[in-house]
Amino acid sequence: MKTIFHKNFVQKIRRHSCQAFGALAAAYMVAAPNAFADPFAYIGNGGDVSVIDIATNTVVDTISVGVSNTTSLALTPDGAFAYVGVNPPAGQTPTIEVIDTSTNTVVDTITMDLEFRTLDIAFTPDSAFAYATDFRAQGTNDTVVVIDTATNTIVDSLDVGVLAQFITVAPDGAFAYTPVNTLNNVTVIDTATNTIAATVPVGISPDGVAITPDGAFVYAGNEASDTVSVVDTTTNTVVDTVNVGDFPVGIAITPDGAFAYVANINSGDVSVIDTATNTVTTTIPGVALGAVVAMTSDGAFAYVTTFAGNVVVIDTATNTVVDTILLSSPFGIAITATPPNPAVLASTGDSFLRILLKKSSI
């Protein structure tokens, strides 16, 4: 009797466990259709976008976006689309090209103002809006334009000053932060009203910017000061200044918020800042003319595009250069999320089953 009951119980639990796991997997795939795809790096590279398989660090696809220079590149938070700023020679119309990452094809083109020069793009966490900075010539007030990603149309813009630089959006989507190079500040944009909420004085000629995963601090690199300003987003004040290498530009923060990686163009290295103490703990050599930094979603690797025509791959566990990918003119870079391991989910389901069986043993 006991044997029969136990056998029937196991069969029922196995059946329901499989059904639950199947439902979980199905729900996950609906919510994130690209979640189980291999992770890729999308890199603006001259008139193309190069797609890099980060498992092998090889180019697996090339997407043409015209003969013009591509600068900015950003992925929607859901990974479904890449937005690429294309800046043609004077007199030609600049655009932002929209790429469907499931097919790696251009599916839409956003026409910009004739003088617009996109430097960077950042998205709200729900992927509903894109904020693009306009890097124009000296003497012209740059604008930040707001793009509705449902229609791929410009729905708002605001002047922030000459030479707007990189831009980042807070994890809760409430504010966007962009350094303004000639004003030596970080401009804080209220995304609910698309108005300037604050301007934070930082170092000289700020450029790169990144925000911690908890949204508590913004790190802004100051080109002429060779420093990184740490801004408390609650008070919008600088609470620390970190000395780094010569001419810092790109900044990326690890997913756990523990470290900031800063590419220093002139000194040819990357400064690693411990965000708990705001001190440089490591300086990684061998990154000549490093420009933009992007992290894999698991924080295992940092990818740095360079004006030397390559992409340098850094292992963040050892803080050493482990690979170099040769391209032509890489700049903007974004990396799709590292997929969850199905074996982990299966193991979780199996563990749940074992617990039930243990508790039901008679």
For residues 72 and 175, membership in a common domain is answered with yes
For residues 11 and 92, membership in a common domain is answered with no
Among candidate residues 315, 296, 252, the one with its CA nearest the CA of residue 120? 252
> What is the chain's alpha carbon radius of gyration, rounded to the nearest angstrom?
23
Sequence-distant (≥ 6) Cβ neighbours of residue 165 within 8 angstroms: 119, 120, 133, 135, 178, 179, 180, 181, 206, 207, 208, 209
The structure's pTM equals 0.85
For residues 115 and 127, membership in a common domain is answered with yes
Print the domain residue range for 250.
37-339
Helices (H), 71-144: none
Q: What is the pLDDT along the chain (362 residues), one digit of tens a residue?
A: 444 434 443 344 344 444 443 444 444 444 444 444 459 999 999 999 999 999 999 999 999 997 778 889 999 999 999 999 998 887 888 999 999 999 999 999 999 988 888 999 999 999 999 999 987 755 566 689 999 999 999 999 999 988 888 999 999 999 999 999 999 999 999 999 999 999 999 999 999 999 999 999 999 999 999 999 999 999 999 999 999 999 999 999 999 999 999 999 999 999 999 999 999 999 999 999 999 999 999 999 999 999 999 999 999 999 999 999 999 999 999 999 865 544 433 433 333 333 333 333 43
For residues 140 and 7, membership in a common domain is answered with no
Instruction: Look at the chain and report how many structural domains it folds into.
Output: 2
Residue 62: exposure state from Cβ atoms within 10 A (0-12, 13-18, ≥19): exposed
